[in-house]
Amino acid sequence: MKIKTLFIVVICWTLALIMLGAYVRLADAGLGCPDWPGCYGQLTAPDEAHEIHFAQQRFGGEIDPFKGWVEMSHRYIAGILGVLVLILCTALLMLRKQFDLPAWLIILPLLVIVFQALLGMWTVTLKLMPAVVTAHLLGGMTLLAVLVALFGRCFGQTRTDLANTRPWFLAALAAVIVQIILGGWVSTNYAGLACNDFPLCQGQLMPPEGFMTALRPDRALGRDVYGELLTIDHLAAIHWLHRLGAVLVLLIVGGLAIKLRRAMPYFALVLVVALLLQVLLGILNVLAALPLVLAVAHNGGAAILLCILVYGYMLVPRLVAGRVKAISPEMIRSTP
């Protein structure tokens, strides 16, 4: 398999895993298996009568085989991704001089995967603590971004006419990353329906009170740091903040697209389409009361928008010792 094909497979697999993770979370299957790495003490979810009986005796509570299989499928697919990334990183280490890649950048995806596995374990053991689940989401997005950056570094052709777009790309990336964090916080706190109208939130323009309480990372799911239940106003404050972030992303990423309309018209068009589609999915999720398909698609849209921005940024000439360094097509050798 050519290294470029392997790259595409790994990136697509990571994107699919992110969307599957969103499905697990939104389908309330995050605790479909209350232990880790197995499921009720076995390698597969219990679905036979004797397996369910044993699981109830050992763990207690109601056993949902479907949620167990959803969670275990996510874990097995994540395990396959780990193997694929290991193969990719090994191949890149052998070709790093050809692609002018630092060793730390090649090893970084493996480190992210190890940390992701720990976050997956903590997600279960800490009973879906919002800060941990959000970090798990960010870990998946980080892995995807690093893989796309490596792909762009290996196969993208930097362009000197994009040198003045660096601040715009950085601002757009920062805005999208913050918005992904806010979106993750909405999802992990199950605040997607806290504002069930649009463009207002609970019939008002200004946010409800409760920002500081709702944003505290050191609390359990559905409770504040003192153990009291969160109110609908707390959840609405989280949702409202995500909407505000969407406005900023629309302005900044839209500004970047305008900046790129002459130098890279097709890239600018793709960026605008991904941006508007993501905004539309966000609005439809509110108006349609958060259907599972649209909610998962909204997560995928955020990942795709991040990929587009990361790849575009990799085409911007790198700064080396205060100078712009561009790689001409002639410098890129043919690859196996």
pLDDT at 319: 62
Residue boundaries of the structural domains of the chain:
1-157, 159-316
Nearest to 184 by CA among 305, 293, 286, 295: 295
Residue 41 in this model has a pLDDT that exceeds 90? no
Tell me: pLDDT of 140 over 70.
yes
Angle at 239 between CA 210 and CA 139, to 5 degrees: 105
- Interval 189-196 mean pLDDT: 90
Active site residues: 71
Instruction: Give the Å distances, CA to CA, from 135 to 112, 115, 120, 128, 219.
Output: 12, 10, 10, 11, 14
State pLDDT tens for residues 141-171: 999 999 999 999 999 888 888 989 999 999 9
SS (H, E, C) 168-236: HHHHHHHHHHHHHHHHHHHHHCCCCCCCCCCCCECCECCCCCCHHHHHCCCCCCCECCCCCECCHHHHH
Span 218-232, mean pLDDT?
A: 90
Note the pLDDT of residue 13: 97
Residue 326 in this model has a pLDDT that exceeds 80: no
pLDDT greater than 50 at residue 219: yes
Spatial distance between the Cα atoms of 185 and 298, rounded to a whole number of angstroms: 14
158: DSSP letter = -
Cβ atoms within 10 Å, residue 114: 11
**For residue 270, which amino acid is it?**
V
Residue 335 predicted with pLDDT over 50: no
pLDDT of residue 81: 96
Q: Considering only residues 202 and 95, tell me which one the structure prediction assigns the higher pLDDT.
A: 95
Tens of pLDDT, residue by residue over 262-290, are: 999 999 999 999 999 999 999 999 999 99
- Reported as a pLDDT band with limits 50, 70 and 90, residue 1 is low
